[in-house]
């Protein structure tokens, strides 16, 4: 049985569709970000103001991320949290030390 369309042409089409979908996803993401930035400018309110700081005030937010990656990141996070330095943390659930971090963070006030 003969094929009506050569295999190479089918591969090109599927690659072209994948590129088109990727381009569409990038375009949609950028569009959402641009709308968000435009709304922030139109509103005139900065993230610092949304968090309750006065207008024109510069704010530094410290965030510790990738907790649960290994024992040393968990130990460093525990030390930082006890000092009050980071304002937020995030953990990576599929990592081997995640459960250890979740137990320790649950003990924090």
Q: Which secondary structure element, helix H or strand E, spans residue 79, and what is its range? A: helix 71-83
Instruction: State pTM to two decimals.
Output: 0.46
Summary mean pLDDT of the chain = 74
Lowest-confidence range among 11-15, 39-43, 97-101? 11-15
Q: Report pLDDT digits (tens) over 66-92.
A: 888 899 888 888 888 888 777 788 888
Interatomic CA distance for residues 29 and 65, integer angstroms: 23
Do the beta carbons of residue 86 and residue 97 sit within 8 Å?
no
Do the beta carbons of residue 66 and residue 73 sit within 8 Å?
yes
Q: How confident is the model at residue 107 (pLDDT cuts 50, 70, 90)?
A: confident
């Amino acid at each position: 049985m003969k094929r009506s369309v050569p295999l190479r042409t089918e591969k090109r089409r599927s690659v072209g569709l994948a590129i088109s979908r990727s381009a569409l996803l990038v375009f949609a993401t950028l569009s959402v970000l641009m709308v968000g930035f435009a709304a922030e400018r139109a509103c005139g309110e900065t993230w610092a103001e949304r968090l309750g700081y006065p207008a024109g005030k510069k704010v530094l937010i410290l965030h510790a991320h990738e907790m649960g990656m290994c024992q040393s990141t968990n130990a460093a996070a525990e030390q930082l949290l006890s000092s009050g330095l980071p304002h937020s943390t995030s953990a990576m659930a599929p990592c081997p030390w995640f459960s250890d971090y979740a137990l320790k963070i649950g003990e924090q006030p």
